[in-house]
Amino acid sequence: MAKAKRPVFIFGNWKMHKTIDAAVQFVKDLIPLVENSSPQIYLAVPFTAIKPVSEEAKESNIVIGAQNMNDASEGAFTGEIAGEMLKNAGAKFVILGHSERRHLFNEDNALINRKVKRAIEDGLQPVVCVGETLEEREEGKTDAVLEEQLSMSLEGLTKEQMGDVIVAYEPVWAIGTGKRPVVEDIEKAHTFCREVLAKKWTKGVANGTPILYGGSVKPENAKELLKPADVDGLLVGGASLESEIFAKIVNYQTEK
Ligand code: 13P
């Protein structure tokens, strides 16, 4: 099937890596490597790097965002960060419900839903992650897990608000492991996510929502992973930490 008219998105998620200096240097190195590239390029950087990296990337085609935020607008929450602070520092988007947040920090769908709503209110584009564990996959529960996570994390959003949302399918067992589903299974999961969105909202909403794949993406597999019509982009962890490697993924069309 031909690709729908959605742009291709390549996201880097640096997780807890890079000082301010290293982050700024990365962006300086990346800009000339991707300035003529067609995908939309997004980098989710540590909180401390948002402002300096946004300034460095200001005239470029690279969009800077964050990896998490609190669901409250402000308050006595020691160590937490608010959407308004991220926005003010230069973030345009925020990753929410990443599997590391769900599993290591016990975030549930209800909390993620509150964060999504707060992010939209604060003018940040939410990138909402869903994905099954290996056990859930082996028990044949992948679709049920995806439906529950999508439905609950996005509960109560209007059609208009859905226009801001990006979904990322990241099977938990494929993150940082070098393992991943075969492309046919990734395609099935993406098509299923789109059906869930169509059922909960409308076909138009479903077709307008970018759905990214994440989990052990490398320059060698980017082209193959982006082939299915319902895969609109990639969310890259480990392979986003070096500018040359990440640039190869961004330039997947022209790389061998
Ligand atoms: P890896 O690309 O290192 O598998 O990580 C994927 C991920 O978690 C991106 O958010």
**Which residue puts its alpha carbon closest to atom 9 of ligand 1?**
237
Give me ligand 1 centre to Cα 237, in Å. 3
Neighbours of 133 (CB within 10 A): 17
Question: 105: buried, middle or exposed (CB in 10 Å: 19+, 13-18, 0-12)?
Answer: exposed
Average pLDDT, the chain: 96
Catalytic residue set: 98, 170
Give every residue of the chain whose pLDDT is below 70, as ranges: 1-4, 256
Residue 3 is predicted with a pLDDT of: 60
Q: Which atom of ligand 1 is nearest to the CA of 168?
A: 10
**Which residue puts its alpha carbon closest to atom 7 of ligand 1?**
237
| Residues 232/206, Cβ–Cβ less than 8 Å | no
Give me ligand 1 centre to Cα 105, in Å. 17
Residue 217 is predicted with a pLDDT of: 98
Give me ligand 1 centre to Cα 75, in Å. 31
Instruction: Spell out the residues 6+ positions from residue 36 whose beta carbon is closer than 8 angstroms to its own.
Output: none
pLDDT in tens, 50-87: 999 999 999 999 999 999 999 999 999 999 999 999 99
How far are the Cα atoms of 15, 26, 66, 110 from residue 87, in angstroms, in the given order? 18, 21, 9, 23
Residue 2 is predicted with a pLDDT of: 52
Q: Is the pTM of this model over 0.75?
A: yes
pLDDT in tens, 21-51: 999 999 999 999 999 999 999 999 999 999 9
Q: Which atom of ligand 1 is nearest to the CA of 236?
A: 2
Kindly state if the Cβ of 216 falls inside 6 Å of ligand 1. yes
